[in-house]
Amino acid sequence: MKKIICAALAAAMPLAPASAATCWKKDHVEAAQVRNFEMMLMVSALRCNTSAYDFLPAYNQFVREKRTALVEVNDALRSHFADVAGLEGGLDAYDDYVIMLANSYGAGAGGLECRDLQAIQAAANAVPANRAAIWKLSESAGIAPRIDAPQCDMAIALANDLLADEGVSGGSVGRSIAMAEGAARLPSAQARGPAN
């Protein structure tokens, strides 16, 4: 069973250098979470601006005051997508990602009413103007990052754990992933860990 999981993991990460680019680094995951939070506020502010709980002016204040942190988040996301798809393809992938986030809030924000979102916006305006503070608030609000691949540290740790369970020595991440990839390419009857 472990060999099957290891092979599946390796198939998801075809080459060691590429696997580092396709998984999400911790910094990029946090940026995705903050961007998701900010997108929820933006779309909700537009949806609620004709209600009794109009917080569009508060959202605009948030963007002005937290601009440096929000630009930093966008730069981190662009960096992730450039790692995955190259500079030009990365820009398109980033645009697609932002559109996907916006569309996901088109019908609402997970059962939250405009008054709830107005309160979240007030909290967002009250936190310090740095990325860490906005990320912490997004955590408190239960916002999850929307990512399409595993986090790098989790994927690498899983591969190393699986290979360690199979008796593979060395502990080198690159070697472990390369061995996992080799096992994935072999027919199932031949898939086995290397000799120590």
Mean predicted confidence (pLDDT) in 155-170: 60
Q: Determine the residue type at 156.
A: I
Specify the pLDDT at position 122: 98
Q: Tell me the pLDDT tens digit for each residue of 77-102.
A: 999 999 999 988 999 999 999 999 99
Q: Distances in Å between the alpha carbon of 29 and those of 26, 113, 152?
A: 5, 27, 10
Structure token digits, residue 94? 């980033």
Q: Distances in Å between the alpha carbon of 83 and those of 17, 19, 21?
A: 10, 10, 5
Q: How confident is the model at residue 190 (pLDDT cuts 50, 70, 90)?
A: very low
pLDDT above 60 for 54: yes
Q: Tell me the pLDDT tens digit for each residue of 164-176.
A: 666 655 444 444 4
